[in-house]
Amino acid sequence: MHATASVRAVEDALGITIPDNARIIRNLISGIQYVQDHVIHFYHLHALDWVDIVSALSADPVETSALAQSISDWPKSSADYFKGIKDKLKEFVDRGQLGPFANAYWGHPAYKLPPEANLMAVAHYLEALDWQREVIKMQALLGAKNPHAQTYIVGGMSIPVDPESQNALNAGSIAFMQGLAKTALDFVEHVYIPDIIAVAPFYLDWAGHGAGVGNFLSYGEFPNDTASNTENMWLPRGIILNKDLSTVHKVDHQKVTEYVTRSWYNYSGGDDKARHPWDGETNYKYTGPQPPYEYLNTDEKYSWLKAPRYDDKAMEVGPLSRMLIAYASGHKEVQDTVNYVLKTLGVGPAVLFSTLGRIAARGVETLVTAKKLPEWINQLATNMKNGDMKIHSGEKWDPSTWPAEAKGYGFHEAPRGSLGHWVKIKDQKIENFQIVVPGTWNGSPRDAKNQRGPYEEALIGTPVANPDQPVEILRTIHSFDPCMACAVHVVDTDGNEIIRIKVK
């Protein structure tokens, strides 16, 4: 959601306060994004690290139905339903074209679920595919399309609000969104959360792996008021250091810096000195091996990612960070939901610092966010009722109204973690624009002090049963929700290297 961070950065630079409707619409777009994205992550990008599809072929539909009904009152849970899923899966396999499931790690000893749990997960994998397509229509309604909403403008949003018009958000739009919010919450409450709770006991050893760096950052999200860079947010801004939940530290954007010591860039002041994003530089200088190559030497520069640090420390970002900071800040909804999950599993808060903890925290965040959506929809309806149709603060729309120089920053908590944009404006043009993204926080290479980032730190000590089928590595890396577009390939290389070291 770079659009959110970028308009906030410019609004901060120019001192713009957005209208309340724009605040609510932004919260709704981000909120439904959290819910939809987390569910896709769990079922479509992460589940197959834990669920053995081939094993599902030997499941008993009657027992699968009994299992499903024991954990949830979700209506799609009859023996006939699961038989239909199993038959469909069998027909798919019998055709001999396994598509995206070919060459995977089926039968690997790290898969622990009984066949019935695997079949149930396959059914929910398919259901979630249809569900995600439906609920994200809220974003299309508010922002023209998904992905890539086209509605964010500096000063507000471009979707008009007018209950008396057919070309604007009106009462019908409110009803449409309420329906989608209900569809969203139903699935999260009755499928996603019960699935996590049903599967977790088979994998409790993963509460002991993948801890990472133990430092957590969240910029906070979902503003309750319209001031630029407000700290009054539903999910709080803060920092936790060394897994110490007793203290939540304040965030100072000036303490965010980036190293390029091990990255394929040069800094004019030397590569061992970190730079704040306002003074950031992007001078690329590739010094790695020429393709095709077998591996990268991590004692030299080895990544396109810069190494972001907060107060010179590596930080984890994402749902686990947000939920820990909310939990430690006394956020009631988060505390209640985390405590419910921990109690149901019969474990203490220490298990949260792990691969499994990331998965649980993502589920908790999805649930509390899905429950929050109707409140924002109602706020929008109330504004409509009171005749407030303002969606944009236009005083600074014309660049001729800007000062000769300005600088600002915009924070956003994207589903996968903290996103910051820093902008410097000179003579109505961008002088410098630097982005520090969740993928670089979590996937960070080493810095001048040789400190590892969260991915690298989390993989240390991960047991790997078969180095040719490193499903255990995938479990921990995927638990971060890596940005597939930029970081995963680097991670693959790192992962393979680490296996080599362990095998030796």
Of the candidates 62, 42, 39, the residue with the CA atom closest to the CA atom of residue 51: 42
> Position 501: which residue type?
I
Whose Cβ is closer to another protein: residue 125's or residue 234's? 125
Distance CA 260, CA 97 (A): 45
Alpha-carbon distances of 438 from 190, 232, 315, rounded to whole Å? 30, 22, 10
Tokens of 44: 């479509």
Minimum CB separation of residue 163 from another protein in Å reads: 10
Minimum CB separation of residue 333 from another protein in Å reads: 28
Whose Cβ is closer to another protein: residue 32's or residue 324's? 32
Minimum CB separation of residue 166 from another protein in Å reads: 7
Distance CA 293, CA 141 (A): 46
> Position 206: which residue type?
W
Q: What are phi and psi of 317, to 5 degrees?
A: -125, 160
Minimum CB separation of residue 399 from another protein in Å reads: 9
Distance CA 39, CA 435 (A): 26
Minimum CB separation of residue 374 from another protein in Å reads: 20
Whose Cβ is closer to another protein: residue 98's or residue 227's? 98
Whose Cβ is closer to another protein: residue 83's or residue 275's? 83
Minimum CB separation of residue 381 from another protein in Å reads: 17
Whose Cβ is closer to another protein: residue 107's or residue 348's? 107
Whose Cβ is closer to another protein: residue 66's or residue 484's? 484
Distance CA 393, CA 22 (A): 9
Minimum CB separation of residue 216 from another protein in Å reads: 25
Whose Cβ is closer to another protein: residue 146's or residue 298's? 146
Of the candidates 461, 452, 502, 444, the residue with the CA atom closest to the CA atom of residue 209: 461
Asked if residues 377 and 407 have their Cβ atoms less than 8 Å apart, the reply is: no
Alpha-carbon distances of 23 from 8, 17, 26, 246, rounded to whole Å? 11, 10, 5, 32
Asked if residues 432 and 445 have their Cβ atoms less than 8 Å apart, the reply is: no
Tokens of 344: 């149901």
DSSP-assigned states of every residue in 367-409: HHHHHHHHHHHHHHHHHHHTT----B--TT-SGGGS-SEEEEE
Whose Cβ is closer to another protein: residue 101's or residue 202's? 101
Q: Name the helix (H) or strand (E) containing 310.
A: strand 307-310
Distance CA 116, CA 119 (A): 5
Whose Cβ is closer to another protein: residue 311's or residue 497's? 497
- C-alpha dihedral sign at 294, 297, 303, 308: positive
Whose Cβ is closer to another protein: residue 32's or residue 239's? 32
Minimum CB separation of residue 39 from another protein in Å reads: 11
Q: How many Å separate Cα 138 from the centre of its chain?
A: 19
Minimum CB separation of residue 241 from another protein in Å reads: 32
> Position 246: which residue type?
S
Q: Cβ–Cβ contacts within 10 Å for residue 126, how many?
A: 14
Minimum CB separation of residue 477 from another protein in Å reads: 9
